[in-house]
């Protein structure tokens, strides 16, 4: 896995110190990162959908089929004069990434044979379908709601409240878009108390791919496959977003744990890294215990609720 890349470390450690830590062997960094990610999985896996977070950050490949939330980085070998380059070959020239649009073996760089992909180390991620709506309005992903177009029983960005979909709303779910065919109906106070205990109260929505409850498209219909067309450049803003869709707090935790792990390999002052290690563990404990909230998808099983609690449903009184 390549969740992090070398540029991620530049704001945390100087180049020469980093080289000393990895001992000119980047495989050691990769191994330490896997250990760090494993640590974080162990802390958060019961509450957060860590599989959506820990995905690769790999160089953009024009021949690859990309899906929503896939992340790419512009990082390739440097262009070499008089080298034979075929269509879709990717290189870096003067700090900018390019993809070959005309096969060539030019002695001097000819920009007409290449298409720019942006500055080296730029990160892009595949966007949600622009057709997604919520209550009839466009519903793009934002920093405040990074998963807004994706179907969700609850909305983390809105304090964990349940989503209420309107007739005709369009959501994205596991490679497809779906159209709402039955608006979300809230449970009245009178009906709520009939369930006796909160653990028995059903979710307000049905998953679009529920083969039982949505077998006849009672709630979600018009299933349409959605992928990014092959060879769509990341500079195409219809399908790609310029930016990093990783959770910043988790990126920092992975870096701090990785550097702490590597510091044991050399005669390196560990006082600072020990503090960062302890700080990362404290933060992860806060996220796991609900003392702080991450903008990451919370695990919700398709049958039953994520957390079982058995107190009786309270009467709602108005005076």
48-52, 114-118, 225-229: least confident range: 48-52
Q: Looking at per-residue confidence, does 305 or 276 come out higher?
A: 276
Q: What is the mean pLDDT of residues 120-133?
A: 96
Residue 213 lies in a domain: yes
pLDDT band at 308 (very low <50, low <70, confident <90, very high): very low
CA distance 301 to 310: 18
Run of H or E including 97: strand 96-100
pLDDT in tens, 162-179: 788 999 999 999 999 999
Strand partners, 180: 220
Work out the pLDDT band at 304, boundaries 50, 70, 90: very low
In the chain, helix, strand, coil percent, each to 5?
Answer: 25, 20, 55
Range 66-94 burial, b when 16+ CB lie within 10 A, else e: bebbbbbbbbbeebeeeeebeeebbbbbe
List all residues 6 or more positions away from 277 whose beta carbon is below 8 Å from its beta carbon: 256, 257, 260
Tokens encoding 277:
């290690």
Q: Nearest 5°: CA angle at 89, between 84 and 92?
A: 95
Q: What is the pLDDT, as a whole number, of residue 23?
A: 80
- CB within 8 Å of 84: residues ≥ 6 apart: 103, 104, 105
Contact by Cβ (8 Å): 9, 21: no
pLDDT band, very low/low/confident/very high, at 155 (cuts 50, 70, 90): confident
134/150 Cα distance (integer angstroms): 10
Instruction: Please tell me the least confidently modeled range out of 129-143, 263-277, 295-309.
Output: 295-309
Confidence of residue 249 (pLDDT cuts 50, 70, 90): very high
184-202 confidence digits (pLDDT tens): 887 766 666 766 676 666 6
Residue 151 lies in a domain: yes
The answer to whether residue 71 sits within a structural domain is no
CA 164/CA 180 separation, integer angstroms: 11
Q: What are phi and psi of 301, to 5 degrees?
A: -75, 155
The two structure tokens encoding residue 128: 């949600």
In a domain, 289, yes or no: no
Residue 302: count of CB within 10 angstroms of its CB: 12
pLDDT of residue 200: 65
Residues forming beta bridges with residue 179, ordered by sequence position? 170, 221
Residue 221 Cα distances to 147, 170, 209, angstroms? 21, 10, 10
Residue 197 lies in a domain: yes
User: What pLDDT is attached to residue 157?
Assistant: 63
Domain count, the chain: 1
Strand partners, 197: 312
- The domain in which residue 203 lies consists of 133-225
For residue 317, pLDDT beyond 60: no
Handedness of CA 66, 71, 75, 77 (dihedral sign): negative
Residue spans of alpha helices (H) in 45-104: 50-53
Q: Is there a domain that residue 214 lies in?
A: yes
Cβ atoms of residues 123 and 72 within 8 Å: yes
Cα distances (Å, whole numbers) of residue 170 to 155, 167, 218, 285: 16, 9, 15, 36
What does pTM read for this prediction? Answer: 0.86
Domain assignment present for residue 209? The answer is yes
Considering the domain boundaries, does residue 272 fall inside one? no
Q: What is the pLDDT of residue 306?
A: 44
């Amino acid at each position: 896995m390549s969740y992090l890349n070398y540029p991620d470390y530049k704001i945390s450690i100087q180049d020469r110190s980093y080289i000393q830590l990895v001992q000119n062997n980047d495989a050691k960094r990769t191994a330490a990162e896997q250990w760090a990610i494993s640590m974080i999985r162990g802390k958060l896996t019961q509450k957060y959908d860590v599989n959506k977070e820990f995905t690769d950050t790999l160089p953009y490949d024009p021949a690859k089929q990309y899906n929503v939330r896939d992340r790419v980085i512009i990082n390739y070998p440097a262009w070499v004069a008089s080298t034979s380059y075929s269509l879709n070959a990717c290189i870096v020239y003067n700090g900018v990434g390019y993809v070959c649009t005309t096969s060539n073996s030019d002695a001097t760089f000819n920009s007409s044979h290449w298409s720019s992909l942006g500055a080296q180390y730029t990160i892009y991620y595949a966007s949600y379908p622009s057709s997604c709506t919520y209550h009839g309005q466009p519903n793009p992903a934002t920093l405040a709601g990074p998963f807004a177009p994706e179907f969700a029983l609850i909305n983390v960005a809105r304090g964990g409240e349940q989503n209420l979909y309107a007739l005709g709303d369009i959501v994205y779910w596991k490679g497809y878009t779906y159209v709402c065919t039955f608006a979300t109906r809230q449970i009245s106070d009178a009906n709520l108390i009939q369930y006796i205990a909160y653990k028995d109260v059903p979710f307000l929505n049905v998953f679009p791919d529920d083969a039982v409850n949505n077998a006849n498209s009672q709630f979600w219909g018009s299933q349409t496959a959605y992928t990014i067309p092959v060879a769509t450049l990341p500079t195409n803003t219809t399908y790609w977003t310029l930016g990093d869709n990783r959770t910043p707090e988790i990126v920092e935790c992975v870096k701090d744990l990785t550097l702490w792990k590597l510091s044991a390999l050399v005669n390196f002052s560990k006082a600072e890294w020990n503090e960062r290690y302890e700080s990362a563990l404290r933060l992860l404990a806060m996220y796991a215990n609900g003392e702080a909230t991450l903008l990451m998808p919370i695990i919700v099983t398709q049958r039953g609720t994520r957390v079982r609690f058995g107190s009786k449903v309270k009467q709602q009184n108005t005076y």
